[in-house]
Structure 1
Amino acid sequence: MRTKFYITCGAIALAATGCLDDQNVTGTSTEPNTVQADGSVLWDPSRGDYRVDFTASVAGLPKGAVADGHWYWDAKSDAKKGGTSYISWPAQLTDGADSLSSVIDSCQGLCGTAVLKKGSMTSSPYAGVGFVIARDESGEPVPVDVSSWGGVCMTYTSEANPLIVLDLGDSLEHELGDELPSASLTKSKDGSEITKCVSWDEFALSTKSNELPKSWQEVVGEKAASQLLGLKFRIQADSGEYKFNVRHVGTKVKDPLKTAHRNLSSSSQAETSSSSSIYTNWLLLSGDDGSLWTPLKDKDHVQSLLYTFYKEDEVSESSYRPMEQDGRWFIETDAARGGESSIAWPVSLGEDSSLVGVVESCKGLCGRASLKQGTSQKAPAVAVSFNLAKDSAGNPTYVEAWNWRGICVEYYSETDISVELVLPDSLHRILDYNLPAAKLSRSSSIEKTCLPWDEFRLPDGVENVPQFLKESKQLEIDSTADENQWKLYVGSQASLQLVGLRFKIQADEGDYSFGIGAIGSQFREFKSNTDLPICISNGKGSKPCVGDLMTGNIGFPRVRTARYAKGIWPSHAVEDGEWFVETDSAKGGHSSMSPYQTWLVPIEGARLDSSSLPYESVLAQHPDLTCGICRGITLQREAKKSDELENDTTTGDELLREVMTDDPYVILGFNLANVPVDVSNWGGMCFEYFSTIPLTVELDVSDSLNAVFGANPYIILPESEWQKCVRWSDFALPTEQIPSENLEGSVGEIAAKHLSAIRFVVQSHEDTEVVLNIGTISTYHF
Structure 2
Amino acid sequence: MFRRILDIAASALLFGFVACSDDNPSGSFDVPAYGNSSSSVETVLGSSDGVGMSSSVVGGESSSSVIVNSSSSAKTPKNTAACLWNASKGDYLVNTGYDPDSTRGAGLWYNISDDPDGGVTEVYSPDVCGFETSEYECAEALVEYCGSYCAEYRFRKGTSAEIFGGMGFNVAGIEEPYVSYALRYGDISDWGGVCVTYAADRDVLLRLYSDDDTFYQVEFGKSTEFVEKCVTWDALNAAEASKHVSSIRFIMPGADGTKGHLSIAAVGKYDAYGACDVDGYAYVLPKSSVDEGFIVLRSSSSGQRASSSSSPRGDCTEPKEVSEMWNGFAAPLTTVETGLDNGTETSGYWFSFGDYMSGVGSVKLPQPLGIEYTTGDEIYDYCMGVCGELEFSKEGYLGVGFHVAGIVDPSEGNSPAAKANISSWGGLCVTYASDTDLEVILAYTQEGGFGNLSRMPKMTLPKSIELKTACADWDNFMTVFSEVSTTFMTSILFAVQGEANAKSRINIRGLGKYSEKKNFCSTGEDPFVSGKKGLVIK
User: Quick check: which has more Rg, 1 or 2?
Assistant: 1
Query: Normalising to structure 1: TM-score of the pair?
Result: 0.26
Q: Quick check: which one's helix share is greater?
A: 1
More RCO (CA 8 Å, sep 6+):
2
Query: Normalising to structure 2: TM-score of the pair?
Result: 0.37
